[in-house]
Amino acid sequence: MNYKAYYSALLLGAFSCISFAGDISISSIEKDMQFLASDELKGRLAGSTEISIAEDYIATQFKQAGLQPLDGLTSFKQEFALHRYTPMQINVLLNSKQIAQQHIAFAGSTNNFNFDEKNISTKVVSKTDNLRSVITQANVKGGNTLLLVNSAHTELFKRYQNHFTQGSQSIEQRKPATLVMILTDTLNVEDLTVNGSILHQQEKLTNIIAVKPGSRKPEEFVIFSAHHDHIGTTANGEEDGIYNGANDDASGVSAVLNLARHYQYIENERSIMYVTFTAEESGLLGSSYFIKDIDAHSIIAMLNIEMIGKPSEFGPGTFWMTGYERSNLAQILNKNLNSTKQQVFADPYPKYKLFYRSDNASLAQLGVPAHSLSSTQMTNDHDYHQVSDELATLDLQQMTDIINSIATASTSLINGKDTPNRIEKVKPRENGLIF
């Protein structure tokens, strides 16, 4: 397929019916959704050709809304490299005995490695040891480690073995390091030979960021965000193998775009930043990169919009907020909504720990009052991460109502009258140095 020709034609059609009069309308939302959740974008897998089409679309919409790139960027695109490390092959001789492949698990970042008993740190994991804890400690420490894992841990060993086979990824290039695990009841190492290889690949990922400077407090930012990636396609032979990601999270991206169009015609005393993140589905990678060079103290609030295409259990057009109790942001939003008889509800699904599972978590760990807004019934959404998450399953009118409510709820943040309190910083989990 000629993707440039397809993009140009589809973009022209999308623009033809979008109103830029400042109203948040169902017609502009529908056009966004038809584009972003189309089969042609093949599930917007991070790093794919198709997601770059979505990114071009979002950047073009930001330009049409009269926005500016973030200071330090030359365009709306914040590009960065993702490093992927995939185990390829390994051979182990322990005490002059060849170890079968099914008894070996390994991970790391060394292209080619060759160890003996003198240049690798060895630890015996007995039947009473906590294997998970030992692996975590080795991962945080880095370097080259050999674990002799007692057969009592066979089940967990197999799970790690499968996990390692899938490879690992990082937004920073790792120093050479390797973890090798052998399932054995051997307690000592008399002689050892380990050699193998790990494939290191890089791919380009892109966040899309735009700013409307504030008139009176340009150094203070309110962020509206969503993630534009999804999980791609499946090769299981199904008739429909595309994970369109209409609700998750084309709905949030459309909300960000329509808020940008809305505020194009409204004076904002604080600066507004619009961000769509990549690779949320891969472990919040886009937002993790975003915070590397951001001044967290300049961010007054972050409203991350996630899955608003379906009515909540509180009724159509209503939405709830993760981490409701962690700041007073919800109280500010509800005060602004008071005249509309709408309100923001607390997250009704605390057992899912959703506050930590979307891009708001990356900024929350820095103390930013960063929360996600959603309407999906998590206990009753049969389309979540399924190929059935398509535009036809969504209620665009209630989605329109929610985006209008978010605009109303944010009024005193945008005009500089209200400042939510900072939240208690979340101590981030230590990054692994091996996988």
pLDDT score of 229: 98
- Per-residue pLDDT, averaged over 237-254, amounts to 91
pLDDT over threshold 70, residue 253: yes
Asked if residue 340 is part of any domain, the answer here is yes
Q: Which structure tokens are listed for 173?
A: 């290039």
Residues 189 and 280 in one domain: no
**What whole-number distance in Å separates Cα of residue 185 and Cα of residue 232?**
42
Answer yes or no: do 237 and 369 share one domain.
yes
Confidence band for 174, pLDDT divided at 50, 70 and 90: very high
pLDDT value at position 425?
84
Phi, psi of 117 (to 5 degrees): -65, -15
Q: Are 203 and 81 in contact (CB under 8 A)?
A: yes
Both 172 and 254 in one domain: the answer is: no
Q: Which of 146, 177, 201 is the last residue of a domain?
A: 201
Tell whether 189 and 217 lie within a shared domain.
no
Whether 246 and 180 share a structural domain: no
Q: Is the pLDDT of residue 240 over 80?
A: yes
121 with 34, same domain: the answer is no
236 and 385, same domain (yes or no): yes
> Which string of DSSP letters, residue by residue, matches 203-269?
EEEEEEEEEE--SSEEEEEEEEEEE--B--B--S--S--B---IIIIIHHHHHHHHHHHHHTTS--S
Per-residue confidence at 20, pLDDT binned at 50, 70, 90? very low
In a 10 Å sphere around its CB, with 0-12 CB exposed, 13-18 middle and 19+ buried, how is residue 267 labelled? exposed
On whether residue 7 sits in a domain, the answer given is: no
Q: Residue 432 falls within a domain, yes or no?
A: no
Round to whole Å and give the CA distance between 202 and 214. Answer: 37
Q: Would you say residue 4 has pLDDT above 80? A: no
Residue 11 has a pLDDT of: 54
21 pLDDT band, cuts 50/70/90, is: low
- DSSP class per residue in 155-187: HHHHHHHHHHHT-EEESSPPPS-EEEEEE----
pLDDT band at 235; cut points 50, 70, 90: confident
Q: What is the mean pLDDT of residues 220-224?
A: 98
CATH code where residue 301 lies: 3.40.630.10
Q: Specify if 10 maps to a domain.
A: no
What integer best gives the mean pLDDT of the chain? 94
CA angle 144, 133, 202 (to 5 degrees): 50
- Asked if pLDDT for residue 210 goes beyond 60, the answer is yes
pLDDT at 17 over 50: no
The answer to whether position 401 is within a domain reads yes
Instruction: Considering only residues 235 and 202, tell me which one the structure prediction assigns the higher pLDDT.
Output: 202
Q: Which of 148, 168, 201 is the last residue of a domain?
A: 201
Q: Provide the pLDDT for residue 293.
A: 87
Residue 246 and residue 378 in one domain: yes
Query: Does residue 15 fall inside a structural domain?
Result: no
Residue-level pLDDT at 16: 45
- Residue 238 vs residue 306, higher pLDDT: 306
* For residues 17-39, average pLDDT: 85
Residues 276 and 351 in one domain: yes
412 pLDDT band (50/70/90 cuts)? very high
Residue range 303-339, pLDDT digits in tens: 999 999 999 999 999 999 999 999 999 999 999 999 9
Mean pLDDT (whole number) for 167-194: 96
Q: How many CB atoms lie within 10 A of CB 230?
A: 30
- Is 136 inside any structural domain? yes
Structural domain count, the chain: 2
The answer to whether position 57 is within a domain reads: yes
Return the amino acid letter for 211. V
The residue segments making up the domain with residue 300 are 20-68+213-414
Mean pLDDT of 157-174: 96
Question: Is 413 in contact with 327 (CB distance < 8 Å)?
Answer: no
Domain end call among 142, 171, 201? 201
Pair (315, 222) in one structural domain: yes
Percent of the chain with pLDDT over 90: 91
Predicted pLDDT of residue 430: 77
Query: What average pLDDT score do residues 415-424 get?
Result: 96
